[in-house]
A and B are shown apart, each in its own frame.
Chain A
């Protein structure tokens, strides 16, 4: 397929990206958080929108499609009639700008969960309003491992538009990946220079260079099957031994989608609210009877990894539910490294197969 792309200088880029809020879009861009960390924030500031940033944000951008907490509806009882009132929904376009390829891939995983029939209305509405502008990575942080799970620092999955800052030259390669992306750029794109094959090649080389700086070993192709067979493996106790059972990994994760529903109010009126939840919490699976099918932290940690690397892929043509952003590695209070944990489990499962001599191809 012929690629649509333009080469912009920094002025043109800033003029276009910076004008998005004025055109009625709600723009979310990376900014400095209160402690100097990068954080996605709603902004109207053209400088900030166009600036770019090193590395990745501390939290993923998923909260702009799947908020930490949202009211699904309010209910009122008058006489024998129950009235449900949905909170007002904005019809403004939302532009997420500066997402890393892993962030955008994470949103695609959320789509798999929330847009599957029957689609989640609140999510679907927000998703339909959203345009994703991905900015290719110019460097990898020590926790990055997208290449180990099939991603790339120049990846376009989930992107509507894709930006590559071509090495220090001040030139920006802007590519339209989807129709939605082309439409967002269409008003200005006539005045931009078309990108040449050489520009695409340069962007490709740049992504390749970042890729090769990621020194993390790719997961074995049969990871889902290997993990699935390792459910009872003693290694789970080992990899999860330091896990303290907080929810940081799941909340920072761009693809974790679990939530809890809470009703507040009384019989006469109240609201139903959905909030993020985490499989790392003991309460997550606790039954009303008091029985907990995942009584230990190792069982909870196993669930998290199994969901990402075995169950989800088995239902989605082998696609992993981990995009390799490495945020959980950076933030884990106990220093647990998900990539190392999966490798350890897959390795143990493979060794067990060999030991049992079951003839399972590995």
Chain B
């Protein structure tokens, strides 16, 4: 796309460069608003190209990413005023989703002057023409959008992020683990013997020392393989989906139980298909380090548990939270360090992270909440996420993955654990979750009946829409 404007064509330019802005408008209000501007003979910069969609609720963040990737310098999304949506509430969902998307782009270092949101009704031709003038000036100030495709030149690598402080608690003792393991085996044996479940999915010793791997136990005798200790990293919720022939007992930590709740909430699991065996977990440990997600976790096995197993024995239902030593989540300190950087350095940092992505999709495969039959990245017509394992496609993949999980992520951090390139997906997930909590007051709940933040709205939600 040529970015040199022909003379006298109504483009606003800086030198020879004329920014290109893609505006996504809803059919009913903003598109008509733009039409109104035309019929009223109002003038506004010619830099904008309009893509009409049925509703601003149709606005997938991927559209904005694709526009940037293809060379757009700015993106505008415009819909009906709240309360005026042709489909009653599409714009209200859009407000939440795009607000979180804008937060994410800010974290990733996209210049906020490139991304705009507005409400323009069919009668607001004047507002439209003023809006386009303002957006164009803002994009002109931001300059050409070259960064999206440029090679990373990160000064600030993940090695420079602050180190987590000392763990707030000690690892469980060998005796405590042995006691829990023994109770767990007893319970598994009983569940299998009594026919309450056809299989128990838990952890067993792996081939390498100190490695715990998923174990699929189908006979009472086999229950002797099960173990519990602080190296039981894997979130097993995934393995319960699409199983036929009887119920599955799932060994779950608190974070895993939230994934199970998510799968129940989104109808990927039926409640009678799964027996949740919560373990009272005092955190998982990598070497002598407590996992970051466990620092601030003071929840005991979620209300979802059918059984709870701990060193002291087995109880029906869940055990109320016993209160646990916590200290600030080290991911928050890392996010703070990132947010103190100027946007271009933040962009370079994240481009450096995404540049290492090899698109093995382990993050997707391991995530219980990534269950689509055909993932957006596997769709070819059109190819929304470009296939080459480099720059733009890697960025799109990582942004889309995060957006699809926004408000749904149960914070099990499995994606970050398995990423062979060590991309800080945990920071992205954490940042989105914190933003959602701050803005909408909701966290992912262990109660399947509670809706996730982006599948609901309030009429008075705050947002960037003007």
Please tell me if B62 contacts chain A, counting CB pairs below 8 Å.
no
> Which of A69, A246, A334 lies in contact with B360, CB distance below 8 A?
A246
Contact A68 B358 (CB under 8 A): yes
Q: With A244-B238, A337-B206, A337-B207 in contact, is A264–B213 under 8 Å at CB? A: no
> Which of A35, A68, A275, A333 lies in contact with B234, CB distance below 8 A?
A333
Q: With A59-B420, A69-B388, A273-B388 in contact, is A278–B214 under 8 Å at CB? A: no
The distance from the CB of A243 to the nearest CB of chain B, in whole angstroms, is 9
The distance from the CB of B208 to the nearest CB of chain A, in whole angstroms, is 5
In the bound complex, residues from chain B placing their C-beta under 8 Å from that of A69 are: 387-390
Contact B214 A335 (CB under 8 A): yes
Q: With A262-B388, A276-B358 in contact, is A35–B422 under 8 Å at CB? A: yes
| Chain A, residue nearest B417 (CB) | A333
> Which of A34, A246, A273 lies in contact with B159, CB distance below 8 A?
A34
Contact A335 B211 (CB under 8 A): yes
Interface of chain B residues 206 through 238 with chain A (CB within 8 A)? 206-209, 211-214, 216, 234, 238
> Which of A142, A251, A334, A340 lies in contact with B209, CB distance below 8 A?
A142
In the bound complex, residues from chain A placing their C-beta under 8 Å from that of B362 are: 244, 246-248, 333
Q: With A34-B157, A275-B388 in contact, is A331–B214 under 8 Å at CB? A: no
Q: How does the 8 Å CB contact mask read for A28-43 relative to B, with 1 for contact and 0 for none?
A: 0000001111000000
In the bound complex, residues from chain A placing their C-beta under 8 Å from that of B234 are: 333-335
Contact A340 B420 (CB under 8 A): no
Please tell me if A245 contacts chain B, counting CB pairs below 8 Å.
yes
Please tell me if B64 contacts chain A, counting CB pairs below 8 Å.
no
Within the assembled complex, what's the spacing in Å between the Cα atoms of A264 and B388?
Answer: 10
| Chain B, residue nearest A271 (CB) | B388
Within the assembled complex, what's the spacing in Å between the Cα atoms of A34 and B387?
Answer: 24
> Which of A35, A273, A281 lies in contact with B387, CB distance below 8 A?
A273
In the bound complex, residues from chain A placing their C-beta under 8 Å from that of B159 are: 34-36
| Chain A, residue nearest B377 (CB) | A283
Contact B422 A340 (CB under 8 A): no
Contact A283 B378 (CB under 8 A): yes
Q: How does the 8 Å CB contact mask read for B193-215 relative to A, with 1 for contact and 0 for none?
A: 00000000000001111011110
In the bound complex, residues from chain A placing their C-beta under 8 Å from that of B239 are: 242
Within the assembled complex, what's the spacing in Å between the Cα atoms of A353 and B207?
Answer: 27
Within the assembled complex, what's the spacing in Å between the Cα atoms of A278 and B206?
Answer: 24
In the bound complex, residues from chain A placing their C-beta under 8 Å from that of B360 are: 246-248, 250-251, 278
> Which of B158, B216, B366, B383 lies in contact with A264, CB distance below 8 A?
B383
Within the assembled complex, what's the spacing in Å between the Cα atoms of A58 and B419?
Answer: 12
The distance from the CB of A216 to the nearest CB of chain B, in whole angstroms, is 9
Please tell me if A120 contacts chain B, counting CB pairs below 8 Å.
no
Interface of chain A residues 227 through 281 with chain B (CB within 8 A)? 241-242, 244-248, 250-252, 260, 262, 264, 273, 275-276, 278, 281
Please tell me if A96 contacts chain B, counting CB pairs below 8 Å.
no
Contact A246 B213 (CB under 8 A): no
Within the assembled complex, what's the spacing in Å between the Cα atoms of A334 and B214?
Answer: 7
Within the assembled complex, what's the spacing in Å between the Cα atoms of A242 and B213?
Answer: 8
The distance from the CB of B66 to the nearest CB of chain A, in whole angstroms, is 12
In the bound complex, residues from chain A placing their C-beta under 8 Å from that of B374 are: 283
| Chain A, residue nearest B206 (CB) | A335
Per the CB 8 Å criterion, the residue count for chain A at the interface is 39
Please tell me if A133 contacts chain B, counting CB pairs below 8 Å.
no
In the bound complex, residues from chain B placing their C-beta under 8 Å from that of A329 are: 207-208
In the bound complex, residues from chain A placing their C-beta under 8 Å from that of B4 are: none
Please tell me if B364 contacts chain A, counting CB pairs below 8 Å.
yes
> Which of B216, B352, B361, B383 lies in contact with A262, CB distance below 8 A?
B383
Contact B420 A248 (CB under 8 A): yes
Contact B214 A246 (CB under 8 A): no
> Which of B209, B356, B365, B380 lies in contact with A245, CB distance below 8 A?
B365
> Which of A71, A252, A262, A337 lies in contact with B420, CB distance below 8 A?
A252
Contact B207 A35 (CB under 8 A): no
The distance from the CB of B88 to the nearest CB of chain A, in whole angstroms, is 35
Contact B387 A275 (CB under 8 A): yes
Interface of chain A residues 313 through 362 with chain B (CB within 8 A)? 329, 331, 333-337, 339-340
Within the assembled complex, what's the spacing in Å between the Cα atoms of A142 and B207?
Answer: 9
Within the assembled complex, what's the spacing in Å between the Cα atoms of A248 and B365?
Answer: 10
In the bound complex, residues from chain B placing their C-beta under 8 Å from that of A273 are: 387-388
Contact B366 A244 (CB under 8 A): yes
The distance from the CB of B374 to the nearest CB of chain A, in whole angstroms, is 8
| Chain B, residue nearest A326 (CB) | B208
Interface of chain A residues 34 through 56 with chain B (CB within 8 A)? 34-37
Please tell me if A143 contacts chain B, counting CB pairs below 8 Å.
yes
The distance from the CB of A256 to the nearest CB of chain B, in whole angstroms, is 11
In the bound complex, residues from chain B placing their C-beta under 8 Å from that of A260 are: 387
Contact B365 A333 (CB under 8 A): yes
Contact B214 A241 (CB under 8 A): yes
Q: How does the 8 Å CB contact mask read for B343-382 relative to A, with 1 for contact and 0 for none?
A: 0000000001000101111101110000000100010100
Which of B360, B374, B414, B422 counts the most A-chain CB atoms under 10 A from its CB?
Answer: B360
In the bound complex, residues from chain B placing their C-beta under 8 Å from that of A252 are: 420
In the bound complex, residues from chain B placing their C-beta under 8 Å from that of A248 are: 360, 362, 418, 420
The distance from the CB of B181 to the nearest CB of chain A, in whole angstroms, is 18
Interface of chain B residues 315 through 368 with chain A (CB within 8 A)? 352, 356, 358-362, 364-366
Please tell me if B248 contacts chain A, counting CB pairs below 8 Å.
no
Contact B420 A334 (CB under 8 A): no
Contact B206 A251 (CB under 8 A): no
Interface of chain A residues 51 through 84 with chain B (CB within 8 A)? 58-59, 68-69, 71
The distance from the CB of A72 to the nearest CB of chain B, in whole angstroms, is 11
> Which of B352, B364, B389, B422 lies in contact with A246, CB distance below 8 A?
B364
In the bound complex, residues from chain A placing their C-beta under 8 Å from that of B158 are: 34-35
In the bound complex, residues from chain A placing their C-beta under 8 Å from that of B390 are: 68-69
Within the assembled complex, what's the spacing in Å between the Cα atoms of A339 and B206?
Answer: 13
Please tell me if B410 contacts chain A, counting CB pairs below 8 Å.
no
The distance from the CB of A219 to the nearest CB of chain B, in whole angstroms, is 15
Within the assembled complex, what's the spacing in Å between the Cα atoms of A250 and B378?
Answer: 18
Which of A59, A242, A333, A339 counts the most B-chain CB atoms under 10 A from its CB?
Answer: A333
Interface of chain B residues 236 through 263 with chain A (CB within 8 A)? 238-239
Within the assembled complex, what's the spacing in Å between the Cα atoms of A337 and B208?
Answer: 9
| Chain A, residue nearest B209 (CB) | A142
The distance from the CB of A88 to the nearest CB of chain B, in whole angstroms, is 17
| Chain A, residue nearest B362 (CB) | A246
Q: 6 A-B pairs, CB-CB below 8 angstroms?
A: A34-B422, A142-B208, A242-B239, A244-B362, A333-B366, A340-B207
Interface residues of B (CB under 8 A from A): 157-159, 206-209, 211-214, 216, 234, 238-239, 352, 356, 358-362, 364-366, 374, 378, 380, 383, 386-390, 414, 417-418, 420, 422
Give 9 closest A-B pairs by Cβ, nearest first: A335-B213, A246-B362, A333-B418, A262-B387, A246-B365, A69-B388, A247-B360, A68-B389, A337-B207
